[in-house]
Structure 1
Amino acid sequence: MAGGSAIRGSRVGAGPTGESERGQAAPRVRVAYWCANRHDTQIAFAHDVEVPETWDCPRCGLPAGQDEQNPPPPPRTEPYKTHLAYVRERRSDADGAALLEEALRKLRARRRA
């Protein structure tokens, strides 16, 4: 006699399935989206919900729209800025020179003392 479980070879949810056990399926509408790389994505939505204008492409991550001939453009990415670049945006060269001169003056005063 083989040892084991009485439910050997089955899994949770195994068995006959059908409309009578699960109930009626909600009416659905399928919407096609296209990204800038021409990937086609079919998404099923419930019939009574508002369908979004754009959807993220599951293949490349770009935004996808419903117009195949005119998909949304890829988002523009800003290049990485260094700390110095952010400082230069906030301060003019004259302000920077004044701050440097003040710091040097304090440093020289400490060295003399």
Structure 2
Amino acid sequence: MKSTLSALIAHCGGDDATSDVRRMACRRIAALEAELISHEDRIASVRRRGKEPPASLLQTYIMLTNQQLRLSKEIGWDRSKKNVKDIDLASYIRGKARVRPVPEVMDHE
């Protein structure tokens, strides 16, 4: 759920650009995704045994899918752009350098 939530917050323009209301919708979408994955695993497990999943399981799956779709429409399908006007280039580069270490340069003599 954590990685899905992070991806959704990034989709909405990042932590600073995401309102509390959008953040709540993102959290619910992420929670629904976790439930849907669990249901998908159960449905697949039943089918692997050569059986038909119970109608109640399929109905719950459909209900969760519809709810997730409705909330997803609320935050929008198109990814929001992150506002970079207030970020200076030097700070951005320093931040990236902390995330990704620079490989050592071999001295060739």
How high is the TM-score relative to the length of structure 1? Answer: 0.21
How high is the TM-score relative to the length of structure 2? Answer: 0.22
Q: Which structure has more strand as a fraction of its residues?
A: 1
Q: Which structure has more helix as a fraction of its residues?
A: 2
Higher RCO, Cα 8 Å, sep 6+: 2
